[in-house]
Amino acid sequence: MEQPALGKKISELRKSKGLTQEELVEKCNISVRTIQRIENGEVTPRSYTVKAILAALEQDMSTFVENFTKNAKDTIGISSPLQERNTLLHTPISDHQTKQLHIAWFAGIVYFICSFFEVTAEYMTFDGSQSLLGTTFYILIKIILLISLLLFIRGFIVIGELFNHQWLKTISYIYAGCTICLIGYEMLTVYHPSELDKVTYVAAAIIFGGIKIFFGASLLKLQNDISSIAKYAGILEIIAGVLLMTVILFFIADIILMFAEIIEILLIYLVIKKKEKSDINL
């Protein structure tokens, strides 16, 4: 049973107990504003919020759900207050996860900006002079890129946890691990050049191309949970991945990935805003 029916029923139960909204707040430790928004049908609360309210109203949660879903056509795919679409229901979002998401979208912006400086760092280091300034700048940029990208990827691991998308979590961990190896190798070869550089970078292009394809496919699955923009991010990642695997078209892939990163930053930001909208006690 969706809103506003849920809010109406909660209001009826509260009044049948002779409770005011303020008195209900004292029992379930939820803000008055949240109770008001739920009863007015303005938001669909998370499962544990509903559970807290029902406990305060001395109602059994399973019985409550059963009463509202017994006429559903499909008891597995029912649309109920506890299975609302486009909200994070698989696990309640913690303050720590919220903080990680905030850090992730900010780190994505830092990574996006630093990517432009990477070109300058590459030139200063490998223009033949091998100056100390060029090498130091190169190492510094690489470190900032690595940290910001890992924090950015961490945001998608958190999203995978919240939406129970195991594949997104797995591919994000693989992405992070391969990134550490590649950037570590790049910094190491500044001081110890290797004759295998070309072979290494060809292999890296193919590996990361495959990662991007699977990462993009994982993002496509988020379009029904978060926003349709997840679809566009996923498509761009897949296209970029295919181009990376050709090796010779990597420069086109880099351009496409720039647009994908912008959308992915927005995607993480939307997850945060969606939670703020669905429950002001985020």
- Convert the pLDDT of each residue in 234-263 to its tens digit: 999 999 999 999 989 988 998 999 999 999
Mean pLDDT lowest for which of 23-27, 80-84, 126-130, 237-241? 80-84
Which of the 8 DSSP states describes residue 185?
H
Q: What is the mean pLDDT of residues 19-26?
A: 87
Portion of the chain with pLDDT greater than 70, in percent: 78
Q: How many independent structural domains does the chain possess?
A: 2
Q: Are residues 159 and 51 in the same domain?
A: no
Average pLDDT, the chain: 81
- 173 and 240 in one domain? yes
**Cα dihedral sign, 132-138-144-150:** negative
Count of helix runs (H) and strand runs (E) in the chain: 11, 0
Evaluate if residue 146 carries a pLDDT over 90: yes
Task: State mean pLDDT over 43-62.
Answer: 80
Query: Which of these ranges, 2-11, 162-171, 173-182, 189-198, has the smallest mean pLDDT?
Result: 189-198
Q: Residue 189 pLDDT more than 50?
A: yes
Range of the domain at 117: 95-278
In the predicted model, is pLDDT for residue 162 greater than 60?
yes
Question: Tens digit of pLDDT for each residue in 25-42?
Answer: 888 878 888 888 888 887
Give me the mean pLDDT over the 164-169 stretch.
90
Q: What is the mean pLDDT of residues 48-69?
A: 77
**In this structure, what CATH number is given to the domain that contains residue 12?**
1.10.260.40
Residue 209 identity: G
Q: Is 70 exceeded by the pLDDT of residue 270? A: yes
- Is 88 part of a structural domain of the chain? no
Q: What is the pLDDT of residue 98?
A: 84
Do 57 and 108 lie in one domain? The reply is: no
Confidence check: pLDDT of 141 > 80: yes
Cβ-contact 31, 43 below 8 angstroms: no
In a domain, 77, yes or no: no
Whether 38 is in a domain gets the answer: yes
| The pLDDT of residue 112 | 94
Q: For the chain, first and last CA: distance in Å?
A: 23
What's the CA gap between 199 and 180, in Å, rounded?
Answer: 18
| Higher-pLDDT residue of 252, 93 | 252
Q: For residue 75, is pLDDT > 90?
A: no
Looking at the fold, whether 53 and 112 belong to one and the same domain comes out as no
